[in-house]
Structure 1
């Protein structure tokens, strides 16, 4: 039996800069390419219709990035909580398929510390982006299980929930993948047994917003200004909430520490490597990646020679297997 449909859906879109948050918002709400322009350093709120239902999306800034200072983190997280209060139905974590997931794993850790472990396990879904490089014969699930154990672990932490809004020729239309997403949101709410995600921090935030709403209405009435625009009052109250009392040092214990040069170097190598491998046909992609990784981690001229040999041999074996099946 399918879950009953929510009349209104609230979503929070998380992700690093360039992770596809803007495209996710546009696709869900059916907006044009030049609509929903999102600033990566600020949270923003968007409301529209999707599959005949009211959908509100809060797009978060990159508050878990290494370049974000503690004061900005506190301000951005406070804005995220205020704009998504009294609590979203689902957090959508945008994850580029062709990049390492260390930043996203950090975001999940912070979410658990900030809102409690239930938010990740029960109300977070991985939204894969940059999937256009997958061959039509190569399914997303097969790719994850075969090559990306880091992403598989991230999905596991998020209750085994994931989705993608990106389509390829011959596959689902944008309207269909959006409908599938909303159906999954309905299932999340049904399984959680609550109207939406909530915790003490969200409850305190909502109390502040409602108090501020009453103050705004009283002030408008005293000034003889129309106070019937409740949506406008709500927006003004949300935007007027200052920095919440968040222990940023506890959430980001290493926030003041520089990024490890070795870690940064390996990440750069990974991005360069995967960027090259994605351009290869599926037939040789895996073998090339295998050879390159051998060369990377063995190191030196010997590692390079061994990696090249492993890659070329594996590629030739794959080609011969394919020829035999023709």
Structure 2
């Protein structure tokens, strides 16, 4: 069993994703807006100990909203990549339990199309607003799923893994099936079983591994330079610097970041270009040269290959001056 669980929450705005994060962590950690229109499109991470174990939850800004373009979400997709490295133990896809409209079906379709087979092995569905559906006529969330062919197909792709909570009504006073505590315990056990089925490892790919190597290298550099900062602050700064590097290098890339995160664009990083990422992220100071070499590229592979061709390790002082 992993000492820390990293969970990425996915879904569309208005389905109770941030509230679900609070329910999982057992407190008010994520800001919850009163309406979808007021929700900020930011990726954030919060931590808490649950049943004696550290749980890290990365709340994403509605990656599967049909009204938002990937271009609008790109900075937060990149932030999610840096925050969850070397990879999450689970992608928790948050969906609202209830009657499904064309918009909800479009979101389900987009999720299905965005995930690669490997990502589905680490995915679980979490339904919110369970009080609206779990009643005398529908005893379990599995019965609700059976009412929709599209939902059943998605749950099947996730290995049949699905759970349900209600962020508003299923309080600590509730017992049995309609208890958030019971459902969260079951969710975390499912994540542990999922990890065991996958050899005890978290989900990762070449991109996430390269980002983790970059964070480790930048952390080591900062530990030498920032002697007065504690370990947690240095790790935060390292992630922030790597996020900045990725944004500069991948700033011209359109339409592939979600696929790269979820394992669809394997070929983008499975050839010598994968070495590009490692070299690029191994030294944050090489960013300026990489940006100039890659700024006109429109694909991940092209941007990273161009950056690799530049001599990234020769610009330590220049990076510090140009990015202040």
**TM-score (norm: length of structure 2):** 0.67
Q: Retained in 2: the 8 A contact 1:49–1:55?
A: yes
Matched residue, 1:23:
19
- Are 1:219 and 2:213 an aligned pair? no
Q: Deviations over 1:62-116 (max 9, x none)?
A: 133233344333212110010111111001000112233321331342232xxxx
Alignment map for 1:1-326 (pairs within 5 Å): 5-32=1-28, 35-37=29-31, 40-98=40-98, 99=100, 100-112=104-116, 117-120=117-120, 122-137=121-136, 138-139=138-139, 140-145=141-146, 147-166=147-166, 167=170, 170-172=175-177, 173-221=179-227, 226-227=228-229, 229-240=230-241, 241-242=243-244, 243=247, 245=250, 247-250=253-256
Find the aligned partners of 2:126 and 2:87 in 1 and give their Cα distance.
Answer: 19
Rg: which structure is higher? 1
**Which runs of 5 or more structure 1 residues have no equivalent in the other structure?**
254-326
The separation in 2 between residues aligned to 1:126 and 1:235, in whole angstroms, is 30
Measured after TM superposition, the shift of residue 60 of structure 1 is: 0.7
Q: In 2, are the aligned partners of 1:40 and 1:62 still within 8 Å (CA)? A: no
**Structure 2: which 5+ runs fail to align?**
33-38, 260-324
SS of the residue aligned with 2:79?
helix
CA distance in 1, matches of 2:70, 2:20: 27
Q: Helix, strand or coil: the match of 1:153? A: helix
CA offsets per residue over residues 174-230 of structure 1, 9 Å max, x none? Answer: 322221111111100100114211110101111221222223223314xxxx14x11
**Separation in 1, partners of 2:115, 2:73:** 13
C-alpha change, 1:194 and 1:248, in structure 2 (3 Å) is farther
Asked if structure 1 preserves the Cα contact closer than 8 Å seen for 2:77 and 2:257, the reply is no
CA 1:104–1:209: 2 relative to 1, 3 Å: farther
Change (3 A) 1:48 1:61: same
Aligned residue for 2:132, secondary structure, equals coil
> How many residues of Structure 1 are paired with residues of Structure 2 in the alignment?
236
